[in-house]
C-alpha cells in the first residue's frame, strides 16, 4: 500500500531518569527518581524526573527545592557518559532496521527517521513500524519510547509532542488534513515546535493565539514582523515542511564564531574570575587551532551574582586574524580590565572568537615574531595531540592548579554535568 511520504520522530521517555532506573532494575513508572547534582544545593536543576513523579504533578526540569516536601525520591547523580553510551546503543538498534542516511539524530534522546522506503520492505503500516522500533529499543535497553508519525518532519514532530500523549499506544499520527482538524485551534501555541514565548507575544499583538490564526494572517504583516522566519510560520501553520532528512544530511554549516561559557559554582572576585577567563581562553584557542581557523575578533560577557549589576564586557577586533593563544588572551584581558566591576561578585563568564576564517587566510602582524608564532602554533598542536591521546587533564597550565581555577573539574564534565 502506498502511504506517500512518511516520517517518524522517536523520543526516549524521561531518558536520563529511565537509564538510571534501568541500571538499577527499577520501573520508572512506579519509582520516584530525580537526576540532579546535590553538590549544587537545593537550587540545582533536576535534569530529569521519572514519569512516576510527573504523574504527581511535578514538572520536568524543576529545581530540587520545588519538589513537594512530602514526596520521597531517589537522587541519581548525572552520568552523561553513561547516557551517551545508551543513546549510541539505541542508535545501533535503529540501524538494524533503517539505513543511516535515513536517520537524523536530533538530540541524545530523540531522532527523526525517513520511513517511506521501509514500509513495503517490512510490509508494515507506519504505526506498526514505529511500534516495532519502540519494542526493539525496550527489549535491548528497558527504555520506553514514544513516537510521532507524519507526512513531513514537522507533522511527525508535533505528532510526538502533542498527539502521542493522548493515545493508548503513545504513537501520534498526523497528515495535513488531520493536522487542520485536530490542531489548528490548539492552544497554547507554544506547544508547537520552534514557537517560543517571544514569538507568541509578537503574534498576540495581532490577536493571534493559534496556528489557524497564523494561517489567516496577511503574509506581508508576518514578513514585516518576523523577516525571513515568517516563511517557517506560514509553512507550519498550513502543516507544510519542505525540509527533508536528505536536505539535513546535505547541509554544511558555515560557522563564523565559536564560544564557551561558565556559570561559576559560587561567587568569584575580580582576580579569581580573571584566572578562570584565562583558562577558558586557553581552551577555546586550542579549539580554534584544532579547527585550523583564525579569529578576527574576541568578545567577553561577565555576569554578576543575583543580577546585582547589568552584564559588562564587549567585542574587540584583532589587529589581524589570528589563532595565537597569547594574542587572543591578551585582547580578552584588555576588555576584562577595562569593563569588569572590581568589587562586584561574579557568577558567569562567556567568551567568544568571531569572524572566523581559514588559518591560511590569517594576516601577518608586523609586531609578531614569525618564528615565535610558528613555535607557539606547533606547541598548541602538540598539546592537542597529548590531550586527545591521554585525556584533557593530562597536560594543564600551572594556573589551573590554583585553588579557584575550574579547568580540571570542568574537564571531567560532559555538557556541563558529571560525566559519571
> What confidence score (pLDDT) does residue 380 get?
73
CATH for 375? 3.30.1490.100
Q: Which of 47-56, 279-288, 371-380, 408-417 has the lowest mean pLDDT?
A: 408-417
197-217: average pLDDT: 96
Q: Is residue 361 part of a domain?
A: yes
Nearest-angstrom CA–CA distance, 323 and 320:
10
Is 346 in the same domain as 365?
yes
Please state which of the ranges 70-79, 90-99, 173-182, 251-260 shows the lowest mean pLDDT.
251-260
Whether residue 286 is found in the same domain as residue 403: yes
CATH number of the domain enclosing 243: 1.10.150.20
Rounded alpha-carbon distances, angstroms, from residue 103 to 4, 81, 89, 282: 18, 22, 15, 36
Q: Structural domain tally of the chain?
A: 3
Summary mean pLDDT of the chain: 90
Classify 172 as helix, strand or coil: strand
Among 38, 55, 78, where does a domain finish?
78
Considering the domain architecture, whether residues 393 and 261 belong to the same structural domain is answered as yes
Tell me the C-alpha to C-alpha distance, in Å, between residue 154 and each of 79, 288, 314.
31, 35, 38
Please provide residue 241's backbone torsions phi and psi, each rounded to the nearest 5 degrees. Answer: -155, 105
Higher pLDDT pick, 29 / 40: 29
- Nearest Cα neighbor of 163 from 138, 186, 196 is 186
Domain range holding 224? 184-248
Tell which of 24, 44, 78 closes a domain: 78
Query: Is the same domain home to 265 and 232?
Result: no
Same domain, 315 and 202: no
Verify that 242 and 366 share a domain, yes or no: no
**Terminal C-alpha separation, the chain:** 47
Mean pLDDT check: name the lowest of 42-56, 234-248, 391-405.
Answer: 391-405
- Pair (279, 406) in one structural domain: yes
Where is the domain boundary, 33, 51, 78? Answer: 78
Mean pLDDT of the 345-362 span: 87
pLDDT at residue 331, as a whole number:
95
- What's the rounded mean pLDDT across residues 136-165? 97
Query: Does residue 366 belong to any structural domain of this protein?
Result: yes
Contacts of 149 (CB under 8 A, 6+ apart): 6, 7, 8, 115, 126, 127, 130, 156, 159, 171, 172, 173, 174
Residue 353 lies in a domain: yes
One domain, residues 305 and 401: yes
pLDDT: which is higher, 306 or 352: 352
Residue 168 lies in a domain: no
205 and 292 part of one domain:
no
In this structure, are 310 and 227 located in the same domain? no
- Residue 94 in domain: no
352, pLDDT greater than 60: yes
Residue 296 has a CB neighbour count (10 Å cut-off) of 18
The Cα–Cα gap between 352 and 7 comes to: 37
pLDDT, tens only, 193-205: 989 999 999 999 9
CATH code, domain carrying 48? 3.40.1170.60
- Identify which of 191, 203, 96, 183 has the alpha carbon closest to the alpha carbon of residue 140: 96
What span, in angstroms and rounded, lies between the C-alpha atoms of 132 and 128? Answer: 6
Cis before 188 (ω within 30): yes
Mean pLDDT of 159-186: 96
Task: Extract the C-alpha cell encoding 159.
Answer: 505528532
Statement to judge: residues 383 and 310 lie in one domain: yes
The answer to whether residue 342 is domain-embedded is yes
Confidence of residue 366 (pLDDT cuts 50, 70, 90): very low
Count the alpha carbons within 13 Å of 333 in the hemisphere toward its beta carbon. 15
Residues 188 and 331 in one domain: no
Amino acid at each position: 500500500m502506498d502511504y506517500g511520504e512518511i516520517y517518524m520522530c522517536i523520543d526516549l521517555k524521561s531518558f536520563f531518569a529511565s537509564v538510571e532506573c534501568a541500571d538499577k532494575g527499577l520501573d520508572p513508572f512506579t519509582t520516584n527518581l530525580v537526576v540532579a547534582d546535590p553538590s549544587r544545593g537545593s537550587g540545582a536543576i533536576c535534569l530529569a524526573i521519572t514519569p512516576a513523579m510527573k504523574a504527581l504533578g511535578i514538572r520536568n526540569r524543576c529545581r530540587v527545592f520545588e519538589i513537594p516536601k512530602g514526596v520521597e525520591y531517589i537522587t541519581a547523580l548525572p552520568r552523561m557518559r553513561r547516557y551517551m553510551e545508551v543513546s549510541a546503543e539505541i542508535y545501533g538498534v535503529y540501524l538494524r532496521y533503517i539505513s543511516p542516511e535515513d536517520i537524523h539524530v536530533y538530540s541524545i534522546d530523540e531522532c527523526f527517521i525517513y520511513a517511506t522506503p521501509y514500509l513495503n520492505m517490512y510490509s508494515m503500516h507506519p504505526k506498526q513500524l514505529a511500534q516495532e522500533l519502540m519494542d526493539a529499543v525496550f527489549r535491548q535497553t528497558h527504555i520506553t519510547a514514544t513516537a510521532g508519525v507524519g507526512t513531513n518532519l514537522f507533522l511527525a514532530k508535533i505528532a510526538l509532542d502533542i498527539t502521542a500523549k493522548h493515545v493508548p499506544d503513545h504513537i501520534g499520527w498526523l497528515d495535513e488534513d488531520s493536522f487542520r482538524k485536530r490542531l489548528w485551534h490548539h492552544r497554547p501555541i507554544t506547544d508547537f515546535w520552534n514557537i517560543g514565548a517571544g514569538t507568541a507575544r509578537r503574534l498576540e499583538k495581532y490577536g493571534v493565539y493559534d496556528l489557524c490564526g497564523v494561517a489567516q494572517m496577511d503574509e506581508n504583516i508576518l514578513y514585516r514582523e518576523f523577516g525571513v522566519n515568517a516563511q517557517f510560520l506560514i509553512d507550519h501553520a498550513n502543516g507544510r515542511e519542505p525540509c527533508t532528512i536528505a536536505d539535513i544530511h546535505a547541509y554544511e554549516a558555515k560557522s563564523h564564531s565559536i564560544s564557551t561559557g561558565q556559570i561559576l559554582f559560587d561567587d568569584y572576585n575580580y582576580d579569581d574570575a580573571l584566572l578562570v577567563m584565562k583558562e577558558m581562553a586557553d581552551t577555546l584557542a586550542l579549539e580554534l587551532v584544532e579547527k585550523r581557523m583564525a579569529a578576527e575578533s574576541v568578545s567577553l560577557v561577565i555576569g554578576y551574582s543575583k543580577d546585582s549589576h547589568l552584564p559588562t564586557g564587549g567585542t574587540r577586533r584583532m589587529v589581524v586574524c589570528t589563532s595565537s593563544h597569547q594574542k587572543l588572551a591578551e585582547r580578552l584581558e584588555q576588555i576584562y580590565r577595562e569593563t569588569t566591576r572590581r568589587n562586584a561578585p561574579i557568577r558567569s563568564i562567556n567568551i567568544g572568537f568571531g569572524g572566523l576564517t581559514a588559518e591560511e587566510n590569517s594576516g601577518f602582524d608586523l609586531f609578531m615574531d614569525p618564528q615565535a608564532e610558528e613555535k607557539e602554533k606547533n606547541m598548541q598542536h602538540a598539546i592537542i595531540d597529548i590531550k586527545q591521546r591521554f585525556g584533557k587533564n593530562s597536560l594543564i597550565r600551572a594556573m589551573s592548579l590554583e585553588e579557584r581555577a575550574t579547568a580540571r573539574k570542568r574537564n571531567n564534565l560532559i555538557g556541563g554535568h558529571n560525566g559519571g
